[in-house]
Amino acid sequence: MNASDRIQWLHRCITDMRYPNANRLAERFGISHRQAQRDVDSLRRDFGAPLAYSAAHRGFYYTKAYTLPTYTICAGDEDPVDAVTGAEVRDVARAIVQMQIPYTAVISIPDKLTRLELKRFIVGEETRGSYICEFHNVELFLGILFTAQSDIAIQKPDWLRERYVQAAQRVLRANRAADQEK
């Protein structure tokens, strides 16, 4: 595994609120603690990630919403890093070339029609009526859930459910205010 894979794994763990640290990164990928710390530093410095350390959880978290940048590579490019940076940089951690690791959620879908509408996101069934979904764009995925004509509930992860509820509350507040103006 290269630096790109390690940084994507680190980002995914942070996004899922699993509070990874350099020790876990080193163990997971069989690298030195020093290399793992360099990967964490690269995520902060090179990618501008809003990283903070939680002593209570003994790991890292984002202080605000953050997604890794994505880059497009032209077919036939010899070195993907050169294609992205235009430089002779060999450190993939400095310019992650991603087929970005998708976000994963478990949602309950009460009816077959909605399940068919969401089939492009569904990668498996966790329990009866609960489906594992993968997606690359949080806002797009939440927007699709909002437009579904069904009572969809996000079971996991908590951060996504909270974001879904907060967005719904914003819509309700705005519409209540509009009703009161009439």
User: Using one digit for the tens of pLDDT, what is the confidence trace for 38-97?
Assistant: 999 988 988 889 999 999 999 999 999 888 876 544 444 444 444 444 444 444 444 444
What is the reported pLDDT for 104? 85
- Which helix (H) or strand (E) is 62 found in, with range? strand 59-62
d(CA 162, CA 167) in angstroms, rounded, equals 9
What is the reported pLDDT for 70? 62
Mean pLDDT of the chain: 81
Amino acid at position 133, single letter = C
- Which helix (H) or strand (E) is 12 found in, with range? helix 3-15
Specify whether the CB–CB gap between 103 and 134 falls below 8 A.
yes
In whole angstroms, how large is the CA radius of gyration of the chain?
Answer: 20
Which pTM does this prediction carry? 0.48
d(CA 97, CA 51) in angstroms, rounded, equals 21
107, two tokens: 């949602």
Map tokens 């942070």 to a residue. 14
**Where along the chain do the CATH 1.10.10 domains lie?**
3-94
d(CA 108, CA 147) in angstroms, rounded, equals 15
d(CA 17, CA 105) in angstroms, rounded, equals 13
Could you tell me the fold of the domain covering 3-94? Arc Repressor Mutant, subunit A (1.10.10)
Q: Which residue has the higher pLDDT, 137 or 69?
A: 137
What is the reported pLDDT for 14? 93
What is the reported pLDDT for 101? 64
Phi, psi of 155 (to 5 degrees): -90, -40
Tell me the average pLDDT across 154-179: 89
Confidence of residue 22 (pLDDT cuts 50, 70, 90): very high
Map tokens 């163990």 to a residue. 27
